[in-house]
Chains A and B, each alone.
Chain A
């Protein structure tokens, strides 16, 4: 038998058929649904007069367009409320499990899936959200889809999908002190650029990824899309199994043992051939921060913004436009630059480990004067745990406030918008123009770096804390 990559193994197992000179028909094990990209898909089913084929494989939670304060009150924005209510109505009509607002399992869809054992190794998982790649941390093929595709999955539990090429990103070695999973992935994206992974599905391999916690692996896979990749995955191991075990939707008893046996085979064969391979050394990575308007525009925090001469001539116009938006000059130093806003949260870094790191770093210190900070847990469970572990108290003593779960200022669909011209150090995933509000300027970094900046009010190397 020809040797295969982990990606190939899972894909082949889920291929119902391939269309000649066309896409594959891929069977989907888990379909996650949220309020923003699903209403038109449910509308399509209605027009066709059909029901959801496999509601038991479908899970829904509102997250993108919900407030992160006063969730017990009706949503003030009428259009937002209608969108969230539409999700509720659609789930009732099609018998889909919904974790609605204030439900103990509500939260950001990519936090909720793993923490409830809905996400499992070897599965195909889709959602109308590009950060579905997060679930690849469990050794599954997980990727974001458009609303037409959401409708396909609702109607047939299948999707038509061109088979992507395979890429291996191998990082060996130990991450230095102060360097986290977020820095690791921002480093890789800076190397590959925001489009370097387009057309590929990535396997993250090597000791730097293996040594990460499951939360760290989720942060890495989450940002696969930021290098343009269709998704990213990491082979499951004992750490993965230990994380999944005992969670509500995980297999139990004899089923569990059988599942783990199967999951152990989920590795790339030693001689499997990838279409592209990159190798990096973990020792080269320092805490990262972005300075521009795509996630590939990142540097080590002690470095300067690249000079104009270092940019390809054909890309200089776009480069200057980007820096103009940010209010920065080519070649400038980043350390010491003003920070107005801190956002800790999102499907990238809104899990309990991220809040722990942030709280540990600000413990006994005070938030910088004049700085606004939004600390947003990724789910109800994360919020509950943050309270139980005393994180909420630590944050409050240091002048921070823990909000309620949701996507929040990552995409600023709700009221959590950073004002025009303000600089926000954010633990989320995108620094696009206007992403955090019209005119807002985003600098992506780790929760640890965000903590350092929150205390000093300027861009600060977390290793100096």
Chain B
């Protein structure tokens, strides 16, 4: 599935000041029965977002219309647990293009990048300031410069991403294309081990 080219994003954000948000919260297992990548956004954070009868829980942030944007800002250790890529599909499907946290779980980080969702690691202080800012506050995420700016207080931080993945996101390349292009090298590796 082709991923969209990542461009600089300036957006309000949805704050989720909870630590250790695991992939079972992002998308509970009972929603993993689909054989496609579509439709998971409707069940993003399903157990926090909906009552048993399917009605929205008024106090959950995704149900508050004043909070919107292409950026999700969450507490540390976001995406721990299951390797389900459905978590990244749900986040992308909902419309988020960036997740900001002070710490991400490894598999989730890979899965996000493979779906054109950029995980941005910031300091704990930067994160707290985002949580404390007003509803209309915005962030600017510039992948080319590898910077994130809190537009409310003007503070900026740089974030890390390896240049291979950065290039993939900016150009919309995916890893499978890369691997298919080095088929000969893989074949000679196999021969060398035979």
Seen from chain A, the residues whose Cβ lies within 8 Å of a Cβ on chain B are 16-17, 19-23, 25, 27, 36-37, 39-40, 43-44, 47-48, 50, 64-65, 77, 79-80, 82-83, 86, 128-130, 132, 144-149, 151-152, 155-158, 160-162, 164, 194-195, 198-199, 225, 228, 230, 293-294, 314-315, 317-318, 321, 411-413, 430, 432-435, 438
Seen from chain B, the residues whose Cβ lies within 8 Å of a Cβ on chain A are 1, 17-20, 22, 24-25, 28-30, 32-37, 47, 52, 75-77, 80-86, 88, 103-107, 110-111, 114-115, 124, 128, 162-165, 174-176, 178-180, 182-183, 185-186, 189-190, 193
B33 close to A27 (CB less than 8 A):
no
B106 close to A230 (CB less than 8 A):
yes
Q: Give the number of residue pairs across the A-B interface with Cβ within 8 Å.
A: 185
B29 close to A155 (CB less than 8 A):
no
**Min CB distance, A222 to chain B, in Å?**
13
A146 close to B30 (CB less than 8 A):
no
Neighbouring B residues of A160 by C-beta, 8 Å: 175, 178-179
Name the contact of A151 in the complex, choosing from B107, B128, B176, B190 (C-beta under 8 A). B176
B19 close to A146 (CB less than 8 A):
no
**Min CB distance, A7 to chain B, in Å?**
15
B81 close to A27 (CB less than 8 A):
no
Name the contact of B25 in the complex, choosing from A19, A50, A315, A433 (C-beta under 8 A). A433
Of all chain B residues, the one with the shortest Cβ separation from A81 is: B33
B81 close to A430 (CB less than 8 A):
yes
**Min CB distance, A60 to chain B, in Å?**
15
B85 close to A314 (CB less than 8 A):
no
Within the assembled complex, what's the spacing in Å between the Cα atoms of A68 and B24?
21
Of all chain A residues, the one with the shortest Cβ separation from B76 is: A195
* New A-B contacts (13) at CB < 8 Å, excluding given A146-B110, A430-B82: A21-B163, A27-B189, A36-B84, A129-B82, A144-B107, A148-B114, A151-B176, A158-B179, A160-B179, A314-B128, A318-B18, A413-B29, A430-B22
**Min CB distance, A127 to chain B, in Å?**
8
Within the assembled complex, what's the spacing in Å between the Cα atoms of A164 and B17?
28
Name the contact of A23 in the complex, choosing from B164, B180, B190 (C-beta under 8 A). B164
B186 close to A158 (CB less than 8 A):
yes
Within the assembled complex, what's the spacing in Å between the Cα atoms of A112 and B83?
19
**Min CB distance, B119 to chain A, in Å?**
13
A148 close to B29 (CB less than 8 A):
no
**Min CB distance, A316 to chain B, in Å?**
10
B85 close to A148 (CB less than 8 A):
yes
B35 close to A86 (CB less than 8 A):
yes
A195 close to B180 (CB less than 8 A):
no
Name the contact of B20 in the complex, choosing from A50, A195, A412 (C-beta under 8 A). A195
B83 close to A39 (CB less than 8 A):
no
Within the assembled complex, what's the spacing in Å between the Cα atoms of A317 and B29?
26
Name the contact of B185 in the complex, choosing from A16, A195, A412 (C-beta under 8 A). A16
Within the assembled complex, what's the spacing in Å between the Cα atoms of A139 and B28?
32
Within the assembled complex, what's the spacing in Å between the Cα atoms of A435 and B26?
12
